[in-house]
A and B are shown apart, each in its own frame.
Chain A
């Protein structure tokens, strides 16, 4: 396909190749040339050889000496009157330097457009390289922050005072033992759960047919378990406090864990299997996962036959399981303050004058367990919450403290390695990092569901665009969990925000299996949440979810983008080295050490991984 004068200018330093047959003697115009975005694929497949090919700026206006066929690279011997290249001599050495200095995580395919590289360190050379891969299906494009981000701090000329909008106090109570007893109570550091509470769980929901409660202590970690549907903190509000403000009481050392099957023994959410031995299938310490040493109050719910794939099945399971959590919450409300082991104050700080950023979190909304309860009365509760599917998956704006106070009760049962469980939001690393970063002003968090149907996807992403526009944000993060058709709206959210001139950093698990299905020219800044060794959905709970290290990379990248610096294009195929280089760059620029998360290699090696994946 021929290109326009504008495209030709943008691709001035790219190879000049005829898009269709051209007669000898013509003057070469943009309309004679092919879009360089497609060259990578052609070169890869051996259909095109660019050796000795002149650049677009060199051939424009020159005369074609002989008739050539389509896709013929224009070399010096077929062109007369080629111009001299504009930024030649210096460019060569510079480019090498860039390569070394390159940072960049992520695999996002099909990000077309232009990539400008600015080489910092006072060298002052600008390179423009096509991102390529336009329309290339599974090809991976990764990108990253490039230069030191310190420069972003500059615009803070009119440094105004920080403003604390509201605070949230977390009172921690330590639990070291969980037992069954005649009543639910907490004595010292021992939590007792009433015997016979199972009957109430079963009676609560018509669809719940059976229920078993297990207490998993660290010595029982090597226990076989059904697929984990959710991991939840046990927390409650003091008095009439609303989520996201006031005081929250939380139990340390213990988490709620939900699993479920239907009466026929079929797992709820049949696909993502993290069933197997707990210690081999949980990525300890991920924001959404249990930490090593914690006790699990694990409930296995049996729902009515064949409702495991219907929306009401998982909903009933989560609602019924909350009976137990709620009973513990009631007990916690009465606990004496003398048992508080730690008090933590979370502040929602606005920093007027700093770059205003917003976090858009795409959550699943295709139906059934691909759903989330938003804003319950109690942290990660059920009562009072609305399912985002019922809300039409439209954007819902919440405060960062509401996120950290459990405003999302996740029903999500997508692939285990990339699912964000309820606990993930309680410890959401990007929200925490952005809230604490003194160089940015986090104005809020927008949750948007991912509907099943494309028309609805674009409906909600347009709302996201307008929402962010009216915030007057200087930059945005768009994150998503899982992979699949949600990447269509993920790309669309980024486009809707990007087309308003707001730089957007996209975060998702991509790597190999989660390579994006679509792309657009605004997807220049991408961070890959992958941690698995081979870049795959490795069936280990929480392995590829957003972690503090990803949050740091994303913020560094957004600052770079907001400062007008450019980020180098990713390579065509997923390359984990891009991430490590970026991490090194950020460490050097900020003079801080970034702790990298472990991956599945740190777990006891199960046969399955040994043979299948590594």
Chain B
């Protein structure tokens, strides 16, 4: 199983955060204590009432651990393609606006 590759996987910490953005398919959370930010699909978020900006959330998490030093070229290539495309489209969009 993959989690056996974690050296510190058993260290589970209770965390809190604040919802900073909600759209139709995601929620964005600032981790309290300036510990970062993440965005997750709404279906991975459990709520009793409608999620709103400013609400506090709690969750257990652990430390992301590097699985190894090797770089996966496939991901690098996808990221690069994505970046280039966004840059191009961005440019086109800016020109249109001008």
Contacts and interface: CB of A to CB of B under 8 A. Distances in A.
B89 A265 contact: yes
B75 A608 contact: yes
Contacts of A3: none
Contacts of A606: 74
A492 to B, nearest CB: 13
A611 B72 contact: yes
Contacts of A454: 46-48
Interface of A is mostly: loop
Given A264-B93, A276-B78, A607-B72, A368 B23 contact: yes
Given A264-B90, A536-B2, A486 B43 contact: yes
Contact of A305 (B51, B67, B74, B93): B93
Interface string B41-56: 1111111111100000
Contact of A309 (B25, B45, B85, B87): B25
Given A454-B47, A517-B46, A608 B23 contact: no
Nearest to A450: B43
Contacts of B24: 309-311, 367-368
Contacts of B92: 263
Contacts of B25: 269, 271, 309, 311, 366-370, 413
Contacts of A534: 1-2
Interface in A511-564: 512, 517, 534-536
Contacts of A413: 25
B47 A367 contact: no
A452 B23 contact: no
A109 to B, nearest CB: 15
Interface string B1-40: 1100000000000000000000111100000000000011
A140 to B, nearest CB: 11
Contacts of B68: 611
B33 to A, nearest CB: 25
B43 A364 contact: yes
A264 B46 CA distance: 30
Interface residues of A, number: 47
A261 B89 contact: yes
A612 B72 contact: yes
Nearest to A263: B93
Nearest to A414: B43
A485 B72 contact: no
A613 interface: yes
Contacts of A453: 47-50
A590 interface: no
Interface string B67-81: 110101111001001
A369 B24 CA distance: 8
Of all A-B residue pairs in the complex, the 7 with the closest CB atoms, nearest first, are: A265-B86, A368-B24, A368-B25, A484-B43, A265-B89, A608-B74, A607-B74
26 contacts: A261-B85, A263-B89, A265-B85, A270-B39, A275-B82, A305-B93, A311-B25, A364-B43, A367-B24, A368-B25, A368-B42, A370-B42, A414-B43, A452-B43, A452-B47, A453-B49, A453-B50, A454-B48, A482-B43, A485-B43, A485-B45, A488-B46, A535-B1, A607-B72, A607-B73, A611-B68
Interface of A: 224, 261, 263-266, 269-273, 275-276, 302, 305, 309-311, 364, 366-370, 413-414, 450, 452-455, 482, 484-486, 488, 512, 517, 534-536, 606-608, 611-613
Given A265-B88, A366-B25, A453-B50, 4 more contacts: A265-B87, A366-B43, A455-B48, A512-B2
